[in-house]
Amino acid sequence: MTQDRPVFGIVLMLGFCLLAPLGDAMAKLLGETTPIGMLVWVRFAVQAIVLIPLVALSDRSFRMRGRILRLTFIRTILHIVGIAAMFSALKFLPLADAVAIAFVMPFIMLILGKYVLDEVVGIRRLIACTVGFVGTLMVIQPSFAQVGAAALLPLVVALVFALFMLVTRKIAKETDPVALQAVSGIMATVLLLPVLVLGTVGGVWELSLIPPMGEGHYLLIAIGLLGTVAHLFMTWSLRYAPSATLAPMQYLEIPVATLFGWLIFHDLPDGIAALGIAITIAAGLYVILRERASARSAPTETPA
């Protein structure tokens, strides 16, 4: 599909930026009474249930072999760990803080690209990464003073999802994104079920198959639906608009998360955290703009 409908692509990305923080807010609501393992398992089970018919009806293929299958398995494990770490972080941190800290991920990807994939990264982007890390530490500091090491969980999310994106890059051109998400949902559901059964039998509460009470069932299903639809929106947006156009828009997740945090939990970042969020966003947008400028000037100029 050609990238000839940028406005539609932007609308889809806006949908992602709205739905993803809303799903996180629901996970935070349920996290106090529902085991993290249960939340994550239902998240992937709903993904599989929604996407399997979509793949079948659209004549896509579930078939994966060799290298693609192995990388998809690794990607699925990373996805499980990343979502579990985010849901765990939301038990301790305000929604906006957790989302903002996790946005250190673009800087981690840039560093991994330079030192793992031998990509050319100029000094100005490395400085922007350093500034972004400083902004992130400003968000972490007040939360760390209150909840301790749990404030570092979003950094785990950022690192895991940076690796997740690197693996996704390796297979993106060789797999259909919807089929990839469907297979990942199936894998995660199958992998997590025996772990949760053992956790239930062994009395490990966070790894137990304990459903929420009352209307929590609807929230649990909504978490899976919102996560699935949000990532489909993000995937499809890239078919209609270039990534250079869409990447800056992802930072809208932070103010949207701040809004939901205020409306639902009456939480707002304090002064230091708010300044750190602003610095992180500014540094991230600078990195994106430098990436865009470097892409336009290649191969005649060295990226800066």
Percent of the chain with pLDDT over 90: 30
Closest CA relative to residue 238, chosen from 67, 25, 3: 3
Q: What is the pLDDT of residue 304?
A: 46
Tokens matching residue 71: 């990388």
Closest CA relative to residue 80, chosen from 54, 109, 42, 23: 42
Q: Give the pLDDT band (50/70/90) at residue 292.
A: low
Q: What is the pLDDT of residue 297?
A: 63
Upper half-sphere CA count for residue 70 (Cβ side, 13 Å)? 2
Torsional class of 34: left (φ above 0), alpha (ψ -120 to 50), beta (otherwise): beta
Q: What is the pLDDT of residue 1?
A: 46
Q: What is the pLDDT of residue 169?
A: 75
Q: Give the pLDDT band (50/70/90) at residue 147.
A: confident
Q: What is the pLDDT of residue 293?
A: 67
Summary mean pLDDT of the chain: 83
What is the rounded distance in angstroms from the CA atom of residue 301 to the CA atom of residue 119? 14
Give this prediction's pTM.
Answer: 0.83
What is the rounded distance in angstroms from the CA atom of residue 44 to the CA atom of residue 51? 10
Q: What is the pLDDT of residue 11?
A: 86
Per residue in 17-39, pLDDT (tens digit) is: 899 999 999 999 998 889 999 99
Mean pLDDT of 120-127: 74
Q: What are phi and psi of 118, to 5 degrees?
A: 60, 35
Per residue in 184-197, pLDDT (tens digit) is: 999 999 999 999 99
Amino acid present at 205: W
What is the rounded distance in angstroms from the CA atom of residue 291 to the CA atom of residue 296? 9
What is the rounded distance in angstroms from the CA atom of residue 241 to the CA atom of residue 251? 17
Mean pLDDT of 270-293: 78
Q: What is the pLDDT of residue 43?
A: 93
